[in-house]
Amino acid sequence: MRAAVRRRLPQLTARAGGVGPAASSHPDPYRNVDAQPDVARMIQSLEERGRTRAQARLRRRFLRFAGIPKAGRVLEVGCGTGVVLRDLTTLVGPRGRVVGVDRSRRVIAAARELCRAHPTITLRVGDAARLPFQSARFDAAIAVTVVLHVADPLAMVNEMVRVTRRGGVIGLQDQDFGTLAVTHPDRELTDRILRGVAAHVYEEPHSGRRLPGLLRAAGLAHVRLLTDVYQDTGLEPYTKTFLQRRAENAVRFGIVDAATAERWLDGFTKLVADGAFVMTINYYGAVGVRGGGASIAPTTGRRRAAAFMRARRSGRTERSANGARRTGPWQRRAR
Ligand SMILES: C[S@@+](CC[C@H](N)C(=O)[O-])C[C@H]1O[C@@H](n2cnc3c(N)ncnc32)[C@H](O)[C@@H]1O
């Protein structure tokens, strides 16, 4: 049987309440990693997530979907410890270049160590809203689980567009906490903790489903969406840490007391022992093309757009991008 999920919450509560001089005032620790009292633990948890098999599958499927070009110059914004960068080196190959930028000095220092064996990776400290790169320098710019954490996602995407050449790809992947589902004997308490903590920590807990709109708001063309699911039925170390952090934060934000949070964690221990544990959360990957130049599929795209405009002008039945017939309010009436 696996170890219990419970942690010693009272001790953590005391530390959280005490907030040392280095602690950040924003409840989302990824807003300012260097101001957190437990940066080493955060670094470890990013690597732990990266190693989790279901997470690696999600990440790699998204990178394939984004169409990272072989021998291309690729930027990852909010690169953390370099989990995604290391995957990118395989995709771009030895003639490609992979650049990671992150706001946190401590995280970039850890990434330098962890990416030492990869000569095609370069790392920089910098803010997503003011990227330290010249315009049109990259063939692709991506950000994986970063939109959720930044104060102004559109400012970040606008910067990613600026540093990407015309016809290049901009890609975002993010989880969506409105889709988090987990087994637990006390459903009401589970909802209270999970929704309460997400609402407290993130500006937009449903950031994942908003990614296509964000890319369109930044003026990108050919926006596509890949919806994927993280699934865990065995309580992976990453999932365990995730639930423990939710319990700690529920106490910290006054959503429940420490005894209730511990009882909640104990509920998972029994489910795991019975082989009845399930946690799933949707991950959304959205990709768009910077317009104004040769895009990835210029001819097909222009042909489709012209056909679409002709159909609209003539009032013929419209079809969505995937060929499905549009109905209801989306059907344009023939005049
Ligand atoms: C959840 S981690 C994701 C790391 C990496 N992309 C991965 O998937 O392993 C979010 C990262 O975004 C960084 N970050 C947050 N706000 C940022 C900003 N304004 N500019 C650059 N990086 C930022 C954090 O320091 C952190 O390393």
In a domain, 87, yes or no: yes
Backbone conformation region of residue 292, classed left if phi is above 0, alpha if psi is from -120 to 50, else beta: left
* pLDDT (0 to 100) of residue 162: 98
In a domain, 325, yes or no: no
What whole-number percentage of the chain has pLDDT above 90? 79
* pLDDT (0 to 100) of residue 27: 94
What's the pLDDT band for 325 if we cut at 50, 70, 90?
Answer: very low
In a domain, 71, yes or no: yes
Whole-number Cα distances in Å, 90 to 87, 165, 179, 288: 6, 22, 31, 22
pTM of the model: 0.84
Angle 77-78-82 (CA atoms, 0-180°, nearest 5)?
A: 100
Range of the domain at 104: 19-296
Say yes or no: CB of residue 128 within 6 Å of ligand 1. yes
Residue 125 · residue 147 · CB < 8 Å: no
Contacts with 210 (C-beta within 8 Å, 6 or more apart), sequence order = 204
Digit-coded pLDDT (tens) for 64-102: 999 999 999 999 999 999 999 999 999 999 999 999 999
Residue 7 · residue 248 · CB < 8 Å: yes
Looking only at the bridges linking them, the beta strands covering 164-175 and 138-144 are parallel
In a domain, 324, yes or no: no
Whole-number Cα distances in Å, 221 to 186, 249, 294, 305: 45, 39, 12, 11
Radius of gyration of the chain measured on its C-alpha atoms:
22
* pLDDT (0 to 100) of residue 10: 41
* pLDDT (0 to 100) of residue 294: 44
Relative to the CA of 83, which ligand 1 atom is closest? 9
Digit-coded pLDDT (tens) for 145-185: 999 999 999 999 999 999 999 999 999 999 999 999 999 99
CA distance 60 to 285: 11
Instruction: Say which residue the tokens 């159909």 belong to.
Output: 311
In a domain, 3, yes or no: no
Quick check: 330 pLDDT over 60? no
In a domain, 268, yes or no: yes
**Atom 1 (ligand 1) nearest CA:** 145
Q: How many residues are recorded in the chain?
A: 335
CATH number at residue 254: 3.40.50.150
Pick from 23-32, 57-66, 284-293: least confident: 23-32
Say yes or no: CB of residue 39 within 6 Å of ligand 1. no
Calculate how far, in angstroms, residue 267's C-alpha sits from the geometric centre of ligand 1: 32
Calculate how far, in angstroms, residue 266's C-alpha sits from the geometric centre of ligand 1: 31
Quick check: 25 pLDDT over 90? no
Longest dimension (CA), the chain: 70
Residue 108 · residue 123 · CB < 8 Å: yes
- Over residues 108-121, mean pLDDT: 98
DSSP code of residue 34: G
Number of domains in the chain: 1
